[in-house]
Structure 1
């Protein structure tokens, strides 16, 4: 996996959902490792209070694909960054375009601030 600011590595499904839920913005997203399929990644995006998950796969030819809605033609990308750029546009076979990246650093900072506020109360 290439270096991406939205890559949260080996967090679980529940943790990914929690991070997106705490961000709360429609179209916020992150990428994590799949818990059930080694070598596969999950693109998770928040839409109307639900987290939708799409598998990202490295194909035999070295291209990247996303498992999107049925009937949407599978597209191949040279890297995940290009795949993400494409999914930032409407009507790409996912619930909502990718609008707001949730990075591990940003999320950790938000957690630290919440903890400090809670301690002061």
Structure 2
């Protein structure tokens, strides 16, 4: 499965920089979780702050940890999950409006004077 807003193994700081550069509430991307192996983070910009929600798969169904008090919903695919949260009042701080696509771009490695090329990455479905 190809998901253009999936950025793979990028860190929190790079995520915040990418979303801040968009400058629009509802801009979002997905990345690998840094703390939970096999889980993903759905990161959304709202009023200059990046909100992060964990997305995980259990028994073939995908869910996102939303705001407290909102019952979890389960989806057969990440695409279906994202489509639901494009609608307002679904338990996220703002609806998903603007996917930050992972296109080929050059980044400068701060520790070394090397350039790295990032390309579309695949999020493997189960």
Structure 1 residue 11 corresponds to structure 2 residue 6: no
Flag as ranges the 4+ runs of structure 1 deviating above 3 A. Answer: none
Which runs of 5 or more structure 2 residues have no equivalent in the other structure? Answer: 108-126
**What secondary structure does 2:67 align onto?**
coil
1:95 alignment partner, one of 78, 93, 98: 93
How do residues 1-121 of structure 1 correspond to structure 2 at under 5 angstroms? 2-59=1-58, 61-105=59-103, 108=105
Aligned residue pair count:
107
Q: Deviation of residue 87 (structure 1)?
A: 0.3
1:67-110, Cα deviation, whole Å (9 max, x unpaired): 0001111100000000000000011111000000001117x38x
Output the CA distance in 2 between the equivalents of 1:11 and 1:20. 13
Please give the root-mean-square deviation of Cα atoms over the aligned residues, in Å.
Answer: 1.4
Q: Which has the higher strand share?
A: 2
Which runs of 5 or more structure 1 residues have no equivalent in the other structure? Answer: 112-121
Higher RCO by CA contacts (8 Å cutoff, separation 6 or greater) = 2
Output the CA distance in 2 between the equivalents of 1:54 and 1:39. 14
